[in-house]
Structure 1
Amino acid sequence: MAYVKPKKHLGQHFLTSQQTAWDIVDALTMHGDYKKVLEIGPGTGVLTDKLITKDNFETQVIEIDIESVEYLRNELGLAEEQIISGDFLKLDLPTIAPSPVAIIGNFPYNISSQIFFKVYENRNQVTEVVCMIQKEVAERIVSPPGKKTNGILSILLQAYYEMEYLFTVPPDVFNPPPKVDSAVISMKRNTRDVVPCDEVLFKKVVKQAFSTRRKTLRNAMKAFNLPIELTEQDVFNKRAEQLGVEEFIDLTQKVEAVLKS
């Protein structure tokens, strides 16, 4: 049997537990009635060979590692049209999947945040995500307001997705074992089409608020040159981590009103 060498520069840690692989695949719920599932970074195909047994959706994999691509062709028998050889971060998602799509995968730790930002930018295309990531990142993304783990991705993703921490995965089910625990999370697109404020400004406000997370919003938001009568409001006494999605929407509306005046 062929062997794929895990490559450190690609952040590859290949899952070896068949049961964990089934648990991840079975977490897909067909939320959003999609017909295609894109797997990011299939590696040795431990998730892939389970996905292709499902007849209620089409599976397509995206893999940057040429050695893995050859393995998937030769060992799993994937056809050319089932494999996209390339970097997910550089691909145009609507071109690959013009209809609603789900994303699944054991995301490389070194680019997981970038993957989530791309999902956010394509939120009207991606109706469901089931993925394994570093436990610390998982806890941050699903974090509720008030916790120190609350951050930029927490707010941006939770504005459009229902988030759920599914289960923890220990290092010993990977080759090579990572130095930290992993976790599987689920994201399902909610009913919100758009936030009720300028969406570009919303993202800027969230990023600015968390840019100096130990400071209150009064100090963190100085870049917007807001009037004193606005920054004297109670919300500006809080730190960014204390706010949830709705409070950030309200904050963006306040900033938007000032910018338009």
Structure 2
Amino acid sequence: MDKYTLKKSLGQHFLKDERICQDIVAAMPVLDGMQLLEVGPGGGAITKYLLEIPNISFKAIELDREKVAYLEQTYPAIRGKILNVDFLLAPAPFDGIFHVIGNFPYNISTQIMFRILEWKDKVPVVVGMFQKEVARRIAADHGNKEYGILSVLFQAYYDVEYLFDVDEHAFNPPPKVKSGVIRCTKLRVPYDIANEKKLFTLVKTAFNQRRKQLRNPLKALFDKETLQDEIFSKRAEQLSVADFVALSHKML
């Protein structure tokens, strides 16, 4: 099997620019003995470089059986290290701490990030390539129209750096969108999040009506006295991550 077919249903576009592949791999800090998971290796564009990193424990998750067979034939070193499962349904692939890297399938990239959030206590660093607007959304600061649910919830736990753009011609076939690479590093000083479920509810409710002053969408979550606070006359995108965390402490 020397060829594989692209599956649009799986959001497949494969990187062919070797310099970009190397830059993505270089963005992941390597530690001796670290555990590293690649999500969606596809045709192996960055996998071949990851397999060369010495003294690490490497695994890859790939849903497409045809790609698994192609990778095992093309890169024999991956045999026994590739899991043919759905990342969104899979249990954590390692015991203990592991890092995550990938050219994430664009059609499920947001779901991938929410899945990683479920594993945040185990995952100190994520390096990923996304559709550019999704990458920018995760990295966006408050006061920006790209700032939203994913921005707040990811930045509540991670420092997010937007590293570089990737031109569509770096792929085969070229997608209709530009791409971007980000690195997310667990915050050294975590926010004081008393109740994670409340924070998630607060952020999602606030952004569901992002054009409105917060007093309207959030009225069911706070008592009348608290709702008199000036902060509730702002819109969701005007609140920093710290603002959301502080508000979550005052919820009913």
For the superposition of Structure 1 and Structure 2, which TM-score range results when normalised by the shorter chain? over 0.9
Give the Cα–Cα distance (whole angstroms) in 2 for the partners of residues 169 and 28 of structure 1: 17
Q: Where does the alignment leave 5 or more consecutive residues of structure 2 unmatched?
A: none
Q: Tell me if structure 1 keeps the 8 A contact 2:191–2:245.
A: no
Tell me if structure 2 keeps the 8 A contact 1:69–1:85: yes
Q: What secondary structure sits across from 1:167 in the alignment?
A: strand
Partner amino acid for 1:236?
F
**Which amino acid is 1:29 matched to?**
P
* Secondary structure of the corresponding residue to residue 121 of structure 2: coil
| Aligned-partner Cα distance in 1 for 2:122–2:80 | 20
Q: 1:206 aligns with which of 203, 207, 227?
A: 203
Q: Does residue 54 of the first structure (1) align with residue 36 of the second (2)?
A: no
Query: Quick one: distance in 1 between partners of 2:170 and 2:140?
Result: 26
1:39-60 C-alpha deviation (Å, 9 max, x unpaired): 0110110100000111042221
Give the match's secondary structure for 1:53: coil
Which residue pairs with 2:244 in the alignment?
A: 248
Equivalent in 216, 220, 224 of residue 219 of structure 1: 216
Percent identity of paired positions between Structure 1 and Structure 2: 44
Q: Using the alignment, how far apart are the partners of 1:238 and 1:125 within structure 2?
A: 35
The yes-or-no answer on 1:143 pairing with 2:143 is: no
- From 155, 158, 161, give the equivalent of 1:161: 158
Q: CA deviation at 1:193?
A: 5.4
Q: 2:33 touches 2:55 (CA, 8 Å); kept in 1? A: no
1:15 aligns with 2:15: yes
Counterpart of 1:238? 234
Instruction: Name the SS for the 2:180 alignment partner.
Output: strand
Q: CA deviation at 1:196?
A: 3.2
Number of aligned residues: 252
Tell me which residue corresponds to 1:2.
2
Task: Give, in whole Å, the separation in 1 of the partners of 2:191 and 2:90.
Answer: 24
Which digits, 9 at most, give the CA deviation of each residue in 1:161-211, with x for residues without a partner? 110000000111111111010000001111345633211111111111111
Q: After the TM superposition, which segments of 4 or more aligned residues of structure 1 sit over 3 Å from their partners?
A: 192-196
Deviation per residue, 1:225-245 (Å, 9 max, x gap): x33221111110111111111
The residue type equivalent to 2:235 in the other structure is R
The answer (yes or no) to whether the contact 1:62–1:84 under 8 Å persists in 2 is yes
Taking the TM superposition and a 5 Å limit, the aligned residue runs for 1:17-32 are 17-30=17-30
In 2, the alpha carbon distance for the partners of 1:124 and 1:30 equals 19
TM-score by length of 1: 0.93
